[in-house]
Amino acid sequence: MSPVATGSAHREWDGWAGGDAMSAGAPLQPHGALRMALLDPDRQAERQARADRLLEADGAGHLVHDLPVRSDGRAAAIESRPWRVDPIPVVLDSATFRWLSLAVAERMEALEAVIADLYGERRLVRDRLVPAEALAATDRYRVNAVGSRPQRWLSTYAVDVALRADGVWQVVQDLTDAPPGIGYALLDRSVMSRVVPEVMAANEVASIARYTGAMRRALAAATGVDSPRIVLFSGGLDHPSYIDHSYLAVQLGVHLVEGADLVVRQRRVWLRTLDGLEPVDVLYRRLEDPTVDPLEVAAHGSVGVPGLLQAVRSGGVALANAHGAGVIEAAEVISYVEAAIAHVRPVEQSLALMSDGRATLARVPVAPQSGAPDAIDAPVVLRLFAVNDGVTVSVLPGGTGRVLAPGDDPRRPTACVAKDVWVLGRTIAPTFGPRLPQVDFGRSLPTRAADALYWTNRSAERAEAMARVGRVVASRIEQDPGLAALHGGGWSRRMTDVLHAVGRTTDHAHLSDHVGEDPTDGLLRDLAGLGALVADEIGVLLTEGTTVREYLSVTTGRVLAHLATLRTGLRRGEVDVDALDAVLADFAAFAGLWHESIVRGPAWRIGDTGRRLERALVVIDLVESAVGGPRGELRGDAAREIDAAAIEVLLAANESLVAYRRRHRSDVELDAAIALLVHDDTNPRSLSTAIERLRRHAEAGEWAAGVALADRARETLALPLDELLPAARTVIDEFGSAVVARWFSSPVSPILMRPTEDVT
């Protein structure tokens, strides 16, 4: 039996002002002035719209669920699962929460004892309180966990509860495996604190801010290491609760990792980082038990870490919650849980298991949806959360509610409407446990996160370049409609070359070749095709950026949310000057936030390396297409006029036309334009500046091969233009491949097998 199961942790519920313990809950609806403030019909639409915008800004609306492709070409196979935060919270008075928190804490300790017995002494099986055949019938009972003695089976716990119409609280389900929802609860509260801050302040809503500190202490207590390295183990973007994982990792201040980030060596778990392998002491797993290790019996899928459970059994890493804790959730076991609790750890404050999912539940007000004029009442299920650090069971003074649609199973709501849970009554005095030792992980950057930051910035730079070229060409057509037909469509053909180059496409899937059509119509079709390419690149940006939201500011999240909205218009062919201006404004904001909001550490350096690489290639692509493209039949003044128009587009597309005119105050000339775009190291958009920045990043990363490649790229700048462009492209492409090989690939170390001797 686990050592913790033999004792009782202190229940942290006695700091709440007002009320006595009680066994029956009060109605969940707000009363008096609070009800009037929350149900004000004139404010509902405004509050709902604000809540939706705030959720979207945190990547929790449609943003994360509308991502078509990743940088490596894989589709983000994820269905849209949007939800809304209802601006009318569930309200618990302090007496009700006092009793509920005690009941939840007692139930958590009781379930700890039940799980410890099922994998330890098995008295419950011997006494037939939990039949052996029930355990044998489910893969949630992990046979390889029998006999294990973790520091704690349940570090975290969640329970869904519902209030019946007759005032009796019941347990809908226990969540002991990888309890989801705490990130959602924190996110919901963050949204509500900005939607109705004045209402919260006037009614002394209990703060949930210190709960993350209790979580960190509980996770650290899962191991005997004095200053443990904790990471949050997620299934990645395709996991249904990814937003929950991502937001919680930020609030806890730990790395969000996936299976590819971890490796088992010498029966320990290590995190792959840019500086090499770093040891991990505690995996706060948000993956379900059967998926954590694909090598184990009855494992599901391949998102886990091969050999992880061998490392756990060897004491090389601790899992929170422990392997096997999900047995309580098994359908074959649920009906025996109450009797098991009564046998091994009777509780004083009983929360009976809901046996009839069709029971009439208490109803709460829900803000009007889909343009309805008034709020309605609907049943709700509350999810409460607790953590145990071995000394204190801390229950979150709040939670998250899920509104039930008609006919819903309380365990699986379908309405997709969440509610913040308010506890009225501030804490008398905050209590804090012992502080964990301060550790600086500033240089620690998981390889997968570095990969995503690298491609996020490459996609941002390429998408911005495409949008700017499209904007410049569209503006020229808008200002001078006859330009498209200039010299028999020569300008249009040259612009088609430019659009193909910046879009990095040589086929005509999106862009036309103007054969047999009016030049203006063809060029407009080209612009619509370029818009589709911009939308595709924004999709890559959003996908990669969403997987590393813990490195990006909240304001950056809002920019990404707006880009997602604009992307929808681009996919519909809405590619006019105004639309592209809006896209460019967002890209400018993203670039500014990247440079001003990210600490100049490994994360910023690897992301900026991607940006500078792509910028160098953009300059090469555009210069080649604008000045090296085919002239067709044009000669003399016609050719020079088309060349000048193309050079102007080239300068404008690289944000250098204003600088050119301020410096030269003359008509554009090729040599001066090339000097500004290729050789001028004071121009932040020049090829020379991009190469110099790559060299600095390689030096800062102590990467000698990268420094040598940057020096080679710099040497190409001395070549004539017709030799410079292909030579520079070759070296820049080689630099990009070297970055991937140096930091993002996992090379196989082949072992030479001896030939089998012929024994015949």
CA dihedral 527, 473, 540, 248 (to 10 degrees): -120
Is residue 714 exposed (0-12), middle (13-18) or buried (19+ Cβ within 10 Å)? middle
SS3 380: strand
Q: pLDDT value at position 318?
A: 96
Mean pLDDT taken over the chain:
83
At residue 697 the predicted structure's pLDDT band, cuts being 50, 70 and 90, is very high
412/118: higher pLDDT: 118
Q: By the 8 A CB rule, do 180 and 158 touch?
A: yes
Angle of helix 447-479 relative to helix 577-597, nearest 10 degrees, comes to 150
Q: Average pLDDT for residues 334-347, to the nearest whole number?
A: 93
Question: What share of the chain in percent tops pLDDT 70?
Answer: 84
In 3D space, the residue among 697, 700, 694 whose CA is nearest the CA of residue 712 turns out to be 694
Range of weakest confidence among 133-137, 510-514, 677-681 = 510-514
Q: Average pLDDT for residues 88-94, to the nearest whole number?
A: 93
Angstrom distance (rounded) from CA 290 to CA 277: 26
What's the longest Cα–Cα distance across the chain?
A: 101
pLDDT tens, residue by residue, 545-558: 888 887 888 788 88
Q: pLDDT value at position 680?
A: 92
Q: pLDDT value at position 756?
A: 45
Angstrom distance (rounded) from CA 604 to CA 594: 8
Q: Residue 128 has which token pair?
A: 């037939």
At residue 517 the predicted structure's pLDDT band, cuts being 50, 70 and 90, is low
Q: Residue 230 has which token pair?
A: 């904790």
Range of weakest confidence among 86-90, 254-258, 649-653 = 649-653
φ, ψ at 280 (rounded to 5°):
-120, 135
What does the domain layout of the chain look like in residue ranges? 3-423, 447-744
Angle of helix 447-479 relative to helix 602-627, nearest 10 degrees, comes to 30
Please determine, for residue 21, whether its predicted confidence score (pLDDT) is greater than 50: no
Length of the chain: 760
Angstrom distance (rounded) from CA 68 to CA 82: 16
SS3 159: strand
Q: pLDDT value at position 637?
A: 64
Q: By the 8 A CB rule, do 244 and 286 touch?
A: yes
460/561: higher pLDDT: 460
Range of weakest confidence among 127-141, 523-537, 706-720, 742-756 = 742-756
pLDDT tens, residue by residue, 654-685: 888 888 888 876 777 888 888 999 999 999 99
Q: pLDDT value at position 385?
A: 97
Q: By the 8 A CB rule, do 40 and 452 touch?
A: no
Angstrom distance (rounded) from CA 5 to CA 552: 41
Q: Which of 253-257, 516-520, 649-653 has the highest mean pLDDT?
A: 253-257
Q: pLDDT value at position 464?
A: 93
Please determine, for residue 10, whether its predicted confidence score (pLDDT) is greater than 90: no
Q: By the 8 A CB rule, do 177 and 157 touch?
A: no
Q: pLDDT value at position 88?
A: 94
Q: pLDDT value at position 515?
A: 52
Range of weakest confidence among 67-71, 477-481, 563-567 = 67-71
At residue 746 the predicted structure's pLDDT band, cuts being 50, 70 and 90, is low
DSSP string, 184-208: HHHHHHHHHHHHSHHHHHHTTBPP-
At residue 519 the predicted structure's pLDDT band, cuts being 50, 70 and 90, is low
pLDDT tens, residue by residue, 432-474: 455 555 444 445 788 888 999 999 999 999 999 999 999 988 8
Q: Average pLDDT for residues 637-654, to the nearest whole number?
A: 78
350/137: higher pLDDT: 137
Angstrom distance (rounded) from CA 216 to CA 41: 41
Angstrom distance (rounded) from CA 163 to CA 29: 12
The total of other beta-carbon atoms located within 10 Å of residue 672's CB is 16
3-state SS of 488-505 is: HHHHHHHHHHHHHHHCCC
Angstrom distance (rounded) from CA 578 to CA 133: 67
In 3D space, the residue among 552, 697, 541 whose CA is nearest the CA of residue 76 turns out to be 541
Strands 352-353 and 376-388: unpaired
Q: pLDDT value at position 496?
A: 84
Q: pLDDT value at position 373?
A: 67
The total of other beta-carbon atoms located within 10 Å of residue 217's CB is 22
At residue 19 the predicted structure's pLDDT band, cuts being 50, 70 and 90, is very low
Range of weakest confidence among 123-132, 647-656, 704-713 = 647-656
Please determine, for residue 755, whether its predicted confidence score (pLDDT) is greater than 80: no
In 3D space, the residue among 265, 256, 245, 246 whose CA is nearest the CA of residue 305 turns out to be 265
Range of weakest confidence among 192-196, 442-446, 581-585, 718-722 = 442-446
DSSP string, 330-369: -HHHHTTHHHHHHHHS--SS--EEP--TT--B-EEEE---
> Exposure string (b/e) for 487-511, b if CB count within 10 Å is 16 or more?
bebbbbbbbbbbbbbbbeeeeeebb
Q: Average pLDDT for residues 420-424, to the nearest whole number?
A: 94
pLDDT tens, residue by residue, 153-184: 999 999 999 999 888 999 999 999 999 999 99
Q: Average pLDDT for residues 197-226, to the nearest whole number?
A: 92
Q: Average pLDDT for residues 279-305, to the nearest whole number?
A: 89
Distance, C-alpha 628 to centroid of its chain: 42
The total of other beta-carbon atoms located within 10 Å of residue 199's CB is 21
The residues near 640 (Cβ < 8 Å, ≥ 6 apart) are none
